[in-house]
Chain A
Amino acid sequence: NAGVTQTPKFRVLKTGQSMTLLCAQDMNHEYMYWYRQDPGMGLRLIHYSVGEGTTAKGEVPDGYNVSRLKKQNFLLGLESAAPSQTSVYFCASSFTGREQYFGPGTRLTVT
């Protein structure tokens, strides 16, 4: 099993550009999550999904959109990137109520 994979690993964007981060898991997990990690702020939940076709807002959802068209994939979109969105983004997945498994992260810089 590959576990949780994230694409791309690194990206540099200019302010106002858009991009999509892809998360894929091969563990048949129902739940998937997107977090961002910033120095001194810890991990914060952006959006999450409890199943195919469903999404919900987390702690810091503004400026991001998500889609879960297939159970194994969870996409995070930035429509108009801002320097405040410079961060490391992590995807995670889990079965209901069980431990979360994390991907390796995407390091995004917005200039």
Chain B
Amino acid sequence: KQEVTQIPAALSVPEGENLVLNCSFTDSAIYNLQWFRQDPGKGLTSLLLIQSSQREQTSGRLNASLDKSSGRSTLYIAASQPGDSATYLCAVRPRGNNRLAFGKGNQVVVIP
């Protein structure tokens, strides 16, 4: 069974610092990996999708990398802003499976 881990569960950073969020998964046989953002009381917003054949994806200040062999992905947010405060979730789609396996998220607070 695919297990997805996100550590730490919560972190705070001063505004302007770069954010680095880590996601690890136990089975490298994945189809893709998706990063989501969730604001309190809201649904999940898709940030980036990385296919298994890709090493990274970028969107604006966000960059996500994927290292399948080591079972890791990193979400990098440059020059963090208070509006980046949210919970960030990593989800992996195993090969041959239609389901996503979710981590429990990193709760981020960016301090003005």
Contacts and interface: CB of A to CB of B under 8 A. Distances in A.
Interface residues of A, number: 24
A97 B99 contact: no
Contacts of B41: 105
B86 interface: no
Contacts of B34: 99-100
Interface string A32-67: 010000001111010010100000101100000000
A18 to B, nearest CB: 25
B89 A43 contact: yes
Given A97-B31, A97-B32, A98-B49, A45 B44 contact: no
Contact of A100 (B42, B100, B103, B105): B100
A48 B32 CA distance: 18
Contact of A42 (B93, B98, B99, B105): B105
Interface in A63-111: 90, 92, 97-105
Most B CB within 10 A of own CB, among A50, A92, A101, A102: A102
A23 B36 CA distance: 20
Given A102-B43, A102-B44, A42 B32 contact: no
B46 A45 contact: no
A105 B99 contact: no
B43 A42 contact: no
B104 interface: yes
A43 B41 CA distance: 14
A86 to B, nearest CB: 16
Contacts of B91: 43, 100
A101 B44 CA distance: 8
16 contacts: A4-B43, A41-B104, A42-B89, A42-B102, A42-B103, A42-B104, A43-B89, A43-B102, A90-B44, A97-B31, A97-B32, A97-B93, A99-B34, A100-B34, A102-B36, A102-B46
Interface of B: 31-32, 34, 36, 41-46, 49, 89, 91, 93, 98-100, 102-105
Given A43-B91, A100-B100, 5 more contacts: A42-B89, A42-B102, A98-B49, A99-B46, A102-B46
